[in-house]
A and B are shown apart, each in its own frame.
Chain A
Amino acid sequence: MAGPVLVKVGKVPGRVDEYAIDGQPTVETALKTAGLKVGKHDEVRVNGGPAALDAELHNNDVVLLTPQVKGA
C-alpha cells in the first residue's frame, strides 16, 4: 500500500510548509490541510504552473498561492 504523499503547500508572501497527506490528495485537499483558502487576488500554482483545485498531487509537488500583483 502506498504511503502518504509529501507535498509543500504555502502562500507567498507568508510561509511554505511540508505536509504528508494520505490517499490521493488534490490541490484543494492540500490547501485545506495547510489551512489556506484561495483569496480573490490569488492564483493557484503547482510546481510553477497554473492548476485547478481538483488537480491531483504527487510526491514533492509544490502548491503555492501567489498574489496577482500590479505595482511597479
Chain B
Amino acid sequence: MSELDFWRQLDIFSPSQFKKAVHVIGVGAIGSYIAETLAKMGVKKIYVYDPDVVELHNLPNQVYGLKDEGKKKVEALASYLRETCGVEVKAADTEVGEGKYNFSGIIFLCVDSMAARKEIWDKYLKLNINVDLLIEVRMGAEVGRIYTIKPFNYLDVKNYEKTLYSDEEAEESPCTARTISSTVKVIAGIAAHKVTKFQRGIPYQKETIVSLNPLLITTRSW
C-alpha cells in the first residue's frame, strides 16, 4: 500500500522526527478534525477517546459520513484515518474521566463541558511531568479558545486554572446557533498547528481567542 509523501512540509513538520504520542480526548467536532489534521500532518501515534456514537446531527460539523451513523465515533474515526492516511489510530470508547489512563506526550482536550475538562485536568494532567503539552480547545458557533500549556509548569497551572469557569458561567448557545463546520475547521487547524511549533521549538501563545465574526485573533501569554 502507498504511503503519504510529506516532503512539501518537512521544514514545517517532520513526521519521521516526531516520536511523541498524541492523545485526542473527545472526538466530536473539534476533536475529530484535529485527529484528521494530525494524521494528514504525519503524526503516527494517535490515541482517541470518546464514548459517543455518530448521530445524523453530527455529520455537518464532524468528519464522519452517512455510513457512520450509529457507529462508535472512535471506531468510525479509526477506520476513516486508516483509509485516508494509512494511520493506525488507537481508540477507546469510554469516558476518560471514569477510566484509568497514564497519559504522556501531547494531549488535546476537546470535551464538551467545563466539568469534564476540570475532572480530566485534576485526575490526569495537572502537574503530570510526562505530559509535554496540553492543548485545550473550547468553541462556540463563531468563537473559539485554545489554551496551550505545560501541565507541570507552575505559572501555566496557576493561570490556566483561572480560565476554568463553570458550566453555568459558560454561554449556552441556542440549538440552532451552536456550531458550524467553517468555525470548527479554523479552530482545529490552529490547534493542530501548535504541534508543528512544538517540534520546531517556536514559542506559542498560552491563550488564543479566535473570532470569525468579525474576523479577529487575540492572544496572550503569562
Contacts and interface: CB of A to CB of B under 8 A. Distances in A.
Interface residues of A, number: 21
A48 B167 contact: no
B26 interface: yes
Contacts of A71: 29, 112, 138-140, 173, 178-179
Interface residues of B, number: 39
Contacts of A15: 214
A66 interface: yes
Contacts of A69: 138-140, 143-145, 170-171
A64 B142 contact: no
Nearest to B216: A12
Interface in B1-55: 26, 28-31
Interface string A15-43: 11000000000000000000000001100
A48 B138 contact: no
Contact of B169 (A47, A66, A68): A68
Contacts of B219: 48
A49 interface: yes
Contact of B140 (A40, A49, A67): A67
Interface in A37-72: 40-41, 45, 47-49, 62, 64, 66-72
Interface of B: 26, 28-31, 110-114, 117, 137-145, 165, 167, 169-173, 178-179, 207, 209, 211-214, 216, 218-220
